[in-house]
Amino acid sequence: MGPAAPGKVSAGTREPGLVSVVVTVRNEGPNLGALLDSLLVQEPPFEVLIVDSNSEDDTVAIAERYAAHRKEVRVLVHGGTRGESRNFGVREAAGEWVAFIDGDCVASPPWLQELRAGLRKAPVAAGRTLQVGFAPWEDLGRVELPYKGVDVTHPSCNLAYRRDLFEALGGFDAWFRTAEDIDLNFRAVDRGARIGFVPEAVVFHRTRSTVGRFLKQAFWNGYGRKQLTLKHGSLWANYSLRRMFETQRGLWAWARLGVALAGYILAKVRERAPTPPAPPGSAASSAAGTARPEETSQAPERGE
């Protein structure tokens, strides 16, 4: 199976043993300091690339203050979907391994050490993400999507790839509003790569601060799930209703699923299946995966 080439990721200089942590942010001023404090105590060597998507608050100023005092931190500006911005960050990175975390997260002290150990055993390492915030939302689990016996819904707020595999896959598909991480994992498994779960690599992820933001997140999650079916075909047979009923319990869980269904329906009406990637190296291939004009900023709420 050839490379998907959805995101125009090209190989760059790689430093052996270096982990490049790519963080895409937009208006994360209230949270960014806590994230960077947690990253700067990680096991070296590492670098942190903050990729800002036209923030309107003090996100860039905070990141630049850290960069002025710590050589590990670099600040970049790049608009587009989350997938497009992450691909840009990887192109600018120097590490042989790439890790992803979000601006509203805090990494546990051994996070990178554990992901490194995971990447020595498998080409993809997925950590354990714990939700913190409004108690009823903390225990809401992901809607798992098994593919070839592997759950491909491990989120990109706690995910690491060997860079050679990431580049061979073409990186994230910038067409996705959300679920770009599920799509990447799906393609990795389809290529024969193993995703190693590393429960010791813990990331604390903040729940949404208001009901409106919580439901908006659910809406875009559903939108992304429909994009997955448009790209990969029907996936309903992969879902386990029994598992869903076990993990999605209570009023908030069903409210989230209901709003996600609305997003799913909108994507069904609005979106069309993406054009299959052109052969690598062709002119059409170089343009594949570029966000459409109406998608020039990151989706308003991060996915699961």
C-alpha span between 105 and 235 (Å, rounded)? 30
Residue 249 lies in a domain: no
The pLDDT value recorded for residue 17 is 87
C-alpha span between 263 and 300 (Å, rounded)? 13
293 — pLDDT class (breaks 50, 70, 90) = very low
- For residue range 95-135, list pLDDT tens digits in order: 999 999 999 999 999 999 999 999 999 999 999 999 887 67
DSSP per-residue letters across 126-160: EEEEEEESSHHHHT------EETTEE----TTSEE
Bond from prior residue into 6 cis (ω within 30 degrees of 0): no
Q: For the chain, what is the domain count?
A: 1
Residue 140 lies in a domain: yes
- Flag whether pLDDT at 303 surpasses 70: no
| Contact between 68 and 42 (Cβ < 8 Å) | no
The pLDDT value recorded for residue 191 is 97
Residue 201 lies in a domain: yes
Residue 56 lies in a domain: yes
Residue type, 248: Q
The pLDDT value recorded for residue 13 is 64
C-alpha span between 115 and 127 (Å, rounded)? 7
Residue 255 lies in a domain: no
Backbone angle region of 179, left / alpha / beta, with phi > 0 → left and psi within -120 to 50 → alpha: left
The model's pTM: 0.85
Residue 48 lies in a domain: yes
Residue 206 lies in a domain: yes
Residue 271 lies in a domain: no
- Flag whether pLDDT at 4 surpasses 50: no
pLDDT: is 4 or 260 the higher one? 260
The angle, 0 to 180 degrees and rounded to 10, between the axes of the packed helices 211-232 and 180-190 is: 30
- For residue range 30-42, list pLDDT tens digits in order: 999 999 999 999 9
- For residue range 230-281, list pLDDT tens digits in order: 999 988 778 766 666 666 667 888 888 889 999 999 999 999 888 765 443 4
Our measurement of the distance from residue 40's CA atom to the centroid of its chain's CA atoms, rounded to an integer in Å, reads: 21
C-alpha span between 278 and 245 (Å, rounded)? 40
Helix H or strand E encompassing 182: helix 180-190
- Flag whether pLDDT at 193 surpasses 60: yes
CATH number of 182's domain: 3.90.550.10
The whole domain housing 34 covers: 18-210
Cα separation values, 230 from 24, 183, 234, 266, Å = 25, 11, 8, 13
DSSP per-residue letters across 208-232: PSSHHHHHHHHHHHHHHHHHHHHHH
Average pLDDT over residues 153-158: 96
The pLDDT value recorded for residue 245 is 64
